[in-house]
Amino acid sequence: MIFVVGKDGYNLCGFVGMFDWKREADAEQMMTGMSAAIRHRGPDDSQYLRKDGFHIAFRRLSIIDLDTGAQPFTSEDGRFTAVFNGEIYNYRDLRKPLQEEGISFRTNSEIEVIVALYRKYGPEFIGMLRGMFAILIYDAQEKSVFAGRDYFGIKPLYYRVTDEAVLFASEMKAFLFDGEYGEFKVDPSMLQHYFTFQYVPEPHTLTPGISVLEAAHYMTVNCNGRVQMKRYFSPDFQKPSEESFEEKAKKLRKILTESVEYHMISDVEVGTFLSSGIDSAVITAIASRLNPGIKALTVGFDVASYSEVDDAHEIAKHLNVDHIVLKGNCQQFRDAFEKVVFALDSPVADPSTVAIYMIAREAASHVKVMLSGEGSDELFAGYKTYRDSLGAGRFEDAPGFVKTACRGLSHVIPDGVKGKNFLMRAGMPLEERYVGNAFLFNEKQKKAFLKCYNPNQSYTELTRPYYDQVADRDPLIKMQHIDIATWLKGDILVKGDRLSMGNSLEVRVPFLDKEVFKFASTLKNSDKLQNGTTKYILRYAFQDYVDPATFMRPKLGYPVPVRVWLRNELYEWARDIIKNSKADAFVDTQAALKMLEDHRTGKADNYRKLWSILVFITWYRLYIAEADKTRERILRGELSYSQRNAWFDRGEKH
């Protein structure tokens, strides 16, 4: 196994903070409530500190009892107080030159290196870090606060600015305890975007006044309440490398192996999530060479064609890893639903969220850190939607009557039927037909059930600035750029962090390393997409690591049988949620029930649309309609971290 020697502390944690520049607030009680809302991020220890107008409450999961790495951390001269959530994989490399300059360190912790770098370089130090992180630093001399977030948005950081203060939190649910501002509302424009994208794109949330500090940004707040924001890194695709394909494949193998090795540095045992696809297979293969016999976990469901267990087992057998399988069923799925919606902060209408929550819960009973394959699809062009959209784009130069015929034909095909969306998008400009990996409701469909629908609002207003950034690039690069800027941050990484941390489990993503991205950004399109094969260079580079079947297997991505269940086992459950909705000011109940009935009878395939409505209705109940009850449940620990629940069958080894 790979362990770091002498590392102080463990960074599975969360924090809430407030900078009150008028220094009038007695915020300890509020901080206590906000901290309770994120107890799952660190259930073993809680610390509160006030310095001038700066308040911080920190939660930590104790893996090793080392006080020297404790947070909040205060510099020896008392000037800087800091907290951070995440991992800095190159902190030893960064500490060494500081020591050579005569700077001494009291601990062997990452947080002390962060403070030393901030003292020496100021805010721009953040670009030197390699890892995943959310950082908060108070400077008692300047009476200012610095907040920063990692390159891709792996670790979350929310904030709210008022006339007197700025508040920070690792999760949005903490703001339920934000005194007079603790009553959440719905931003109608963001709700409309949610029903397009299946999530609310950064830096927005569904709640007015609460924002996400965007990935690759930092913000500073001075003693007069002036807030400044700056981007410190842009995930730009570079001019394609002229190296041979073989040279690039060898380089990818080296860089990704190094990244996995960095991500396995830990005080505790590390495992991997293993599906049937190439991404998790490659990560598990590399990890198993570094740590033979590593634990690999898979989730599957008892419905034909909705389980990756058999294929994952073949991969595990080929790699000779310790394979643990969680076999889920409809009742377990249903029982987890409310906790999943609560954990996500903002609605994310992705049915895989429940499967991820279930496997994270199982993983937490075996290890405390897991490696996952997120980010590979965005960096190496792994989504089938890229191929489909490029195909639809071939109609752009077609005669007008051909485009009209395609769109007319799309109107007579029932919703959800394969080919409908392709025909509907045929000939449309890329900026209109591709707004990210998911597209739920078109404008006509939203108007039919969304009571706050605004016909003057377009989903393209959120994606247009990102398209402008790559206006001179080819369509594939444009789509990858859009997904990194929206889908990756708003869906993929939100699921990964909230649903793992909701079970006090840390998930690390070796593909989303800045050195891996730096390499991927120089690839030619033919390196990524070749003869219809996605992620071609990744498959080629590691073909001798995985079994031949895995080499070409298409992506499934936590398949869950919601489509089937909503016609059968989950039909009455879904109907009751819609009928008892407290969100009828926003969602037309009768329209939603008709959508459900059309799905049940097979008239339409509405499962993704229905799922988005069920998630929103439940989110609205938890965060708005029954917010007082939710606060009470948080304080009782009902919605936060708890020991394994009885409804999970013990994972079985294969």
The CATH number of residue 116's host domain is 3.60.20.10
Single out the residue of 45, 46, 54 nearest to residue 17, CA to CA: 54
**400 pLDDT exceeds 90?**
no
Q: Does the pLDDT at position 639 exceed 50?
A: yes
Tell me: pLDDT of 68 over 60: no
Average pLDDT over every residue of 214-239 = 96
What is the spatial distance between Cα 247 and Cα 169, in angstroms, rounded to a whole number?
44
Do residue 368 and residue 223 come from a single domain? Answer: no
Residue-by-residue DSSP string for 6-23 = S--S---EEEEEEEETT-
Q: Which residues contact 584 (CB under 8 A, 6 or more apart)?
A: 451
**CATH number of the domain to which 359 belongs:** 3.40.50.620
- For residues 9 and 106, the answer to whether their CB atoms sit within 8 Å is no
Average pLDDT for residues 371-377, to the nearest whole number?
97
Q: Looking at the structure, do residues 512 and 604 belong to the same domain, yes or no? A: no
Residue 534, pLDDT > 60, answer: yes
Q: Is the pLDDT of residue 404 over 80?
A: no
Pair (220, 85) in one structural domain: yes
Residue 536 pLDDT: 96
- Please check whether residues 255 and 285 belong to one and the same domain: yes
Helices 188-197 and 607-620: crossing angle, nearest 10°? 150
Kindly state the average pLDDT of the residues 444-468: 95
Residues 405 and 377 both lie in one domain:
no
Pick the more confident residue, 45 or 160.
160
Q: Is the dihedral of CA 511, 436, 169, 54 positive or negative?
A: positive
In a domain, 7, yes or no: no
Where among 412, 445, 475 does a domain terminate?
Answer: 475
- Counting every residue written for the chain, the total comes to 654
User: Would you say residue 643 has pLDDT above 50?
Assistant: no
Worst-scoring range by mean pLDDT, 120-124, 388-392, 526-530, 552-556? 388-392
Residues with a catalytic annotation lie at 13
Q: Do residues 35 and 163 both lie within one domain?
A: yes
In a domain, 542, yes or no: yes
Q: Show the domain range for 344.
A: 245-381+486-552
Quote the CA–CA distance of 440 and 400 in Å, as a whole number.
26
Mean pLDDT value across the chain: 89
Asked if residues 427 and 398 have their Cβ atoms less than 8 Å apart, the reply is yes
Give the model's pLDDT for residue 402: 53
Same domain, 410 and 494: no
| Structural domain includes residue 561 | no
- Whether 560 is covered by a domain: the verdict is no
Boundary-marking domain end, from 187, 208, 231: 231
CB 172 within 8 A of CB 184: no
Asked which of 179, 200, 231 is the last residue of a domain, the reply is 231
The 10 Å Cβ neighbour count of residue 432 is 12
Q: How confident is the model at residue 5 (pLDDT cuts 50, 70, 90)?
A: very low
423-450 pLDDT, tens per residue?
555 557 888 888 877 889 999 999 999 9
Q: What is the pLDDT of residue 259?
A: 98
Distance, in Å, from the CA atom of 219 to the CA atom of 145, rounded to the nearest integer, reads 8
Whether 213 maps to a domain, the answer reads: yes
Q: How far is CA 446 from the centre of its chain?
A: 26
Write the pLDDT tens digit of every residue in 81-106.
999 999 999 999 999 999 999 999 99
Same domain, 35 and 138: yes
| CA 559 – CA 214 distance, rounded (Å) | 29
The verdict on residue 590 lying in a domain is yes
Amino acid letter, 218: Y
- Whether 574 and 435 map to the same domain: the answer is no
Q: Are residues 172 and 291 in the same domain?
A: no
pLDDT of residue 290: 95
Token duo for residue 9: 């502390």
Is 290 within a domain? Answer: yes
Do residues 250 and 216 both lie within one domain? Answer: no
Is 50 exceeded by the pLDDT of residue 386? yes
Q: Alpha-carbon distance 133 to 276, whole Å?
A: 29
Residue 591 within a domain: yes
Confidence (pLDDT) at 6: 41
Compute the average pLDDT of residues 470-491.
95
Q: For the ranges 183-187, 556-560, 607-611, 629-633, which has the lowest average pLDDT? A: 556-560
Query: Which pLDDT value is given to residue 64?
Result: 45
SS3 (DSSP) at 609: helix
Q: How many domains does the chain have?
A: 4
Max distance between CA atoms of the chain, in angstroms, equals 74
User: Between 477 and 415, where is the model more confident?
Assistant: 477
Instruction: Please tell me whether residues 266 and 324 are part of one structural domain.
Output: yes
